[in-house]
Amino acid sequence: MPALLGAELVVHIRLGSVVRRFVEGNIVVAEDRPKFDAAVKSARRVRDSVAVEMGLLILAYTVGIWIWHSEVALGSATWYALPDAMQLHLTKAGYWYAFVSIPIFQFILLRWYMRLVLWFWLLWKFSKLNLHLSAAHPDRSGGIGFLGTNSDAFAPILFAQGSLLAGVIASRVLYQGQNLMAFRMQAAGFAVFFVLFILGPLVMFTPRLDRAKRAGKAYYGLLGSRYVFGFEAKWTPSSAPGTGKLLTDDIQGLADLANCFSVVSRMRLVPFALEDVTFLAATTVLPLLPLVLTKFSPEQVLVGLAKILFH
């Protein structure tokens, strides 16, 4: 809950900055600015809708409680319930947990899911506009690399998701005696799913990035041919190699052009990098690490880490 609530301010500030970058960086062309503004206003209207949030709250107190009762609640004795063959008998603390704590948590979680879907819808609307992308941009993403670098704003949400999974696994290990290692594939799949959930929608910009890269390679390839041919025509026929005085500007211009073409050739077709994927994956998995203590003692963990670090 603290992670989800704390993310409110972080995401609000960062995503607001991301939206402004489309305008400040002249990525949205002037004729599409009305469509851009209309999409932003529409997204804000849904985000701030009281009716939508009331619907989510009702969903949490109906479907959410049913899912928790039928799929999440343990079938063995715990602090919140004493099950028998017929039903789950909640303790006094269990009633608070089931009808206050769980629905409030599910409401906050559903609210975030709604906002994430809304954010992805807004990016989809942006991807359909006539964007001004440059293959020579140093971010290697046509000028929209800020979409990937700002994805870490969602890290608190992924941390909360990892904490939720860690709690579910811990309950089954501690109360039902299940083997921790039996959950390794679920944990790995969970991390992959949520990283794809955050970064996957950015692939919608791939067609435009691909067109920008192809256009950039064609443009700078033609420019390079003209420059090289002019360079050779100016210097090669007039004298043998090693004679004459080459102008520094000519050599530097040739080098700069080669560097520019190299940037265009290495342009990514997605607006994020490997480090963005790694950071989000590590954030998701981090809350799962303490589960190791359910299988190994702290001393065994420290000895194992020492062997890895100093072997």
Nearest CA to 176 among 75, 86, 90? 75
| Residues 295-309, mean pLDDT to the nearest whole number | 73
d(CA 46, CA 178): 43
What pLDDT does residue 58 have? 95
Confidence band (pLDDT; 50, 70, 90) for 77?
confident
| Residues 118-133, mean pLDDT to the nearest whole number | 93
Q: What is the pTM of this model?
A: 0.81
What pLDDT does residue 258 have? 78
Helices (H), the chain: 2-24, 33-47, 50-59, 65-67, 92-96, 102-127, 146-149, 155-176, 184-199, 206-235, 248-265, 274-285, 298-310
CA 177 to chain centre: 35
| Domain chopping of the chain, boundaries | 2-213+266-310
Average pLDDT, the chain: 86
| Residues 95-119, mean pLDDT to the nearest whole number | 93
Confidence band (pLDDT; 50, 70, 90) for 133?
very high
CA 164 to chain centre: 18
Query: Looking at the predicted structure, is the pLDDT value of residue 267 above 70?
Result: yes
What pLDDT does residue 248 have? 52
Nearest CA to 153 among 114, 116, 206? 116
Higher local confidence (pLDDT), 245 or 98: 98
d(CA 92, CA 89): 10
Tokens, residue 246: 């080459």
| Residues 285-307, mean pLDDT to the nearest whole number | 80
Phi, psi values for residue 20, rounded to 5°: -65, -30
> DSSP string spanning 215-273?
HHHHHHHHHHHHHHHHHHHHHTTTS-TT-S---HHHHHHHHHHHHHHHHHHT--SSS--
pLDDT, tens digit, for every residue of 8-38?
Answer: 888 888 999 999 999 998 999 889 999 999 9
Query: Looking at the predicted structure, is the pLDDT value of residue 243 above 60?
Result: no
What pLDDT does residue 226 have? 79
Cα Rg of the chain (Å, integer): 27
The percentage of residues in the chain with a pLDDT greater than 70, rounded to a whole number, is: 91
